[in-house]
Amino acid sequence: MSQFKFDILKQHESTKARLGLIHTPHGTIQTPNFIFCGTKAAIKGLNPQQMKECKTQFILANTYHLMLQPGADLVEKMGGLHKFMGWDGPLLTDSGGFQIFSLGHGSVAEEIKGRRNSSRPKTMLKITEEGAKFKSYLDGAIHLLTPEKSIETQRKLGADIILVLDECTPFHADKNYTARSMRLSHRWADRSMQEFKRHDNGKQSLYGIIQGGVYPDLRQESAEFTNSLDFFGQAIGGSLGGTKEQMYEVVDMSFTYLRRDRPTHLLGIGGLKDIWEGVAMGVDTFDCVHPTRIARHGHALIRSADTDHINIKNARFKEDANPIDEKCGCYTCQNFSRAYLNHLMKAQELLLIQLLTMHNVYFMNQLMEDVRTSLENDTFLETKANWFS
Amino acid sequence: MSQFKFDILKQHESTKARLGLIHTPHGTIQTPNFIFCGTKAAIKGLNPQQMKECKTQFILANTYHLMLQPGADLVEKMGGLHKFMGWDGPLLTDSGGFQIFSLGHGSVAEEIKGRRNSSRPKTMLKITEEGAKFKSYLDGAIHLLTPEKSIETQRKLGADIILVLDECTPFHADKNYTARSMRLSHRWADRSMQEFKRHDNGKQSLYGIIQGGVYPDLRQESAEFTNSLDFFGQAIGGSLGGTKEQMYEVVDMSFTYLRRDRPTHLLGIGGLKDIWEGVAMGVDTFDCVHPTRIARHGHALIRSADTDHINIKNARFKEDANPIDEKCGCYTCQNFSRAYLNHLMKAQELLLIQLLTMHNVYFMNQLMEDVRTSLENDTFLETKANWFS
């Protein structure tokens, strides 16, 4: 018997935004919400207790990294990912596909977001009907990831919500390639679901992923396919175009075809503006490495019409006795000045990463709370319009 | 009116060990106790709240580093070191001398502990009656640190307990050099005290430092000098010899001459065995970078007759579901297995440093609590004899 349930508490009148609850065996997620990236079974710089103190409800880990180190068998032996990483709240794992194709093509992550190619060595060897063959980034060993293997690995890891294996097509793929790739992903999704059902004990739930690149007819075909399978939730994947505008178009278009009774996740997107736009289009959950990654470069998220962050290294903070954000309730803003953080940056002190990550995580969770409160109070559009000013 | 007071609660019968309380404007320290190094106004990897959760009572910061970056004037402007670094408990600063001479001779820290020379560039330029001239390790700028300047700087920083400027003589210094150096340090101590009294408002207290290297007559002379000045407390400094045995001899010898109504600190020493031996000889407080430094190299402190730590990288921990120490009450041991920490090490995850530092800090504080409890319960010698087994 499944321990999962999705409740839609309230539908916004003039947009697709909605308030909801995703119930999992490890607790309930209030939606809209944000999922933080604990790639290798750890948030870079914060422990699980700190994540909770920063109001985090949902964390993800990456199957690709964990299957290579320490391996899914070891994690299973240690009692599963929740116990292994000391996080007792809701957890999601991806299929492992994204990183294979990303490292493989050398650029999927960049391309999906419309950035130029990176110069990483390509480790993707071959995509066949069976699965994706790739070289480990750690030791060069050759692995084959099939839909069955991905689900088996995710079952051993034991996250609450898991994803089907899909092929991530690069942005420059033409319509023919995108269509062929999408149909392969559909067959893989079918196999993922079959493998999932073979062992389903109600403790995990499976999300489908809608493909189709920037092409409306393909998005429709993929949505209809995804709608027809017995998924608990769904994610919007595939190429989202080369610009923010195109990304919003693709996401919006996808929602015209996707069923609305399932929680819907937008893969890898989580800019501050993207959150408000995405929620308005119907997105329930987001994930992005941005908040934690920029912290490691000395950047702190702020509310501003001009920029989403300040760089704490900037000389103008040297004697600034104010916190990053006067209204922020996080430990960092309650206790430390910009001058102190600027000093830590110059002194290359490790503590800086912890303090900035804490602020950025709290900031995102506060943003999501603001989104939910505005839906609750019927002030979503006004709050969306004014939040940055 | 001074806000400082030292209470001796209980004197051990057969050793010089004792239980005490050091009262400061920022709280009371139970002695014997350990001071953790927050060199640049930050504990590497832990925030002040975490330090408290790990039962820390006392932290130090280094005047040398802070006078160069961000500068004592800035710290003062930001409300002093307590406010700047978000630590509201007792704080100590050193005089700045140790690092000048350490970086200067290229090796004082190593030599005091009997280790071989390091190959650092020498930045000490000249020692005169006036003070020590040195090059900044940051930008090569030339600075002169005088006793007055050191006290002024420490006054601006605003720690509770501050130290006189002394010359740190290298281990290989002969008796003549050691004697001359000691007398220079005495004159500097005199000047430090005069400068301290000029501005004393009861919010800081000054410790003297006993010199004299490994020579009993010099240690006696230095103790008698230090005893005669109006210090609140005293530290054992200077060269402590080339071996652990010699170090214990020098410390023990120093206590024959030092007055016992003042809290006594042993500078830079804090091995697990050193703690028990030092307490038995009369030491009230210790400091050492060891617990926090080894954490950054993947080492976790343990109770064992053979070694003071395990290296979490070791392959035998790969599938070890036990915590570092089953009896330890720290967050790390309560929540994570050695297998997880081993994984974090292999994955080069930042979180490892935080989790190991937390364990090592808690471990030291638990050790100090065990020492105090044994004094309280009149089981000091038995506990000392059996603690490692």
Smallest Cβ distance to B349: which of A44, A346, A350? A44
The span from the CA of B233 to the CA of B231, in Å, is 5
Question: Pairing mode, if any, of strands B132-135 and B142-145?
Answer: antiparallel
b/e map B161-199, b = 16+ CB within 10 Å: bbbbbbbbbbbebeeeebbebbbbbbebbebbbebbeee
Cβ separation of B347 and A69 shorter than 8 Å?
yes
Query: Which token pair is B116?
Result: 């071989």
Q: Nearest 5°: phi and psi at B348?
A: 55, 45
Task: With beta carbons less than 8 A apart as the criterion, state whether B174 and B220 touch.
Answer: no
CB contact under 8 A, A353 and B353: no
Residues of A involved in catalysis: 94, 287
> What is the phi-psi region of residue A384: left when phi exceeds 0, alpha when psi lies from -120 to 50, beta otherwise?
alpha
Domain residue limits, chain B: 34-288, 301-378
* Three-state secondary structure of A237-264: CCCCCCCHHHHHHHHHHHHHHCCCCCCE
What's this model's pTM, rounded to 2 decimal places? 0.95
Q: Where does residue A48 fall: left (phi above 0), alpha (psi -120 to 50 degrees), or beta otherwise? A: alpha
- Judge: B321–A65 Cβ closer than 8 Å, yes or no: no
Active-site annotation of B, residues:
94, 287
Residue in chain B nearest A38 by alpha carbon: B349
Q: How far apart are CA A41 and CA B344, in angstroms?
A: 8
Q: A299: distance to nearest CA of chain B, Å?
A: 17
CB of B39 closer than 8 Å to CB of A348: no
Q: Do A86 and B336 touch (CB under 8 A)?
A: yes
- The dihedral built from the CA positions of residue B366, B367, B371 and B372, taken in this order, carries a sign that is negative
Q: Cα separation of A124 and A110, whole Å?
A: 16
CATH T-level assignment (fold) for domain B34-288: TIM Barrel (3.20.20)
pLDDT tens for chain A, 389 residues: list them. 789 999 999 999 999 999 999 999 999 999 999 999 999 999 999 999 999 999 999 999 999 999 999 999 999 999 999 999 999 999 999 999 888 887 766 544 544 454 445 555 667 788 899 999 998 888 889 999 999 999 999 999 999 999 999 998 877 889 999 999 999 999 999 999 999 999 999 999 999 999 999 999 999 999 999 999 999 999 999 889 889 999 999 999 999 999 999 999 999 999 999 999 999 999 999 999 999 999 999 999 999 999 999 999 999 999 999 999 999 999 999 999 999 999 999 999 999 999 999 999 999 999 999 999 999 999 999 999 999 98
User: Other CB atoms closer than 10 Å to residue A173's CB: what's the count?
Assistant: 20
Alpha-carbon distance of A16 to B100, in angstroms, equals 65
Residues 6 or more apart from B122 whose CB is under 8 A from it? Answer: B103, B104, B105, B106
Residues 6+ apart with CB under 8 A from A306: none
ipTM over 0.85: yes
> Which of chain B's residues have a Cβ under 8 Å away from the Cβ of A47?
331, 351, 354-355
Q: Label each residue of A112-167 as H, E or C.
A: HCCCCCCCCCCCEEEECCCCEEEECCCCCCEEEECHHHHHHHHHHHCCCEEECCCC
Contacts of B385 (CB under 8 A, 6+ apart): none
Closest CA to B42 of A319, A296, A324, A351: A351
Provide φ and ψ at B87, rounded to 5°: -115, 115
CATH class of A59-283: alpha beta
